[in-house]
Amino acid sequence: MELLERLEQRINDLLAKLNDFKSENTRLRDTLSNMALEKSAIEEENRKLHESLAQRDALREEAVRRIDALLCRIEEHDSVE
């Protein structure tokens, strides 16, 4: 009889552990889901920042070209005088 009681206790302990594991698994799945959402948001922000940087670089390059063109015009004007 004692052996049967020990077996019952062991089964109860294992079932309790199983419930703990299930709860932990649910918690970890929720955490993973939240992290995936955060990752997506960060990736989107990163994409927007890259686009913004590319636009700023293009504007800067255009400004440099325009300034160079103005300097060339000034030099040409100075050399004509």
Residue 81: the pLDDT is 65
Cα–Cα distance measured from residue 71 to residue 56, given in angstroms and rounded to the nearest whole number: 22
Residue 79: the pLDDT is 82
- Kindly report the pTM of this predicted structure: 0.63
Cα–Cα distance measured from residue 35 to residue 27, given in angstroms and rounded to the nearest whole number: 12
Q: What is the pLDDT along the chain (81 residues), one digit of tens a residue?
A: 899 999 999 999 999 999 999 999 999 999 999 999 999 999 999 999 999 999 999 999 999 999 999 999 999 888 876
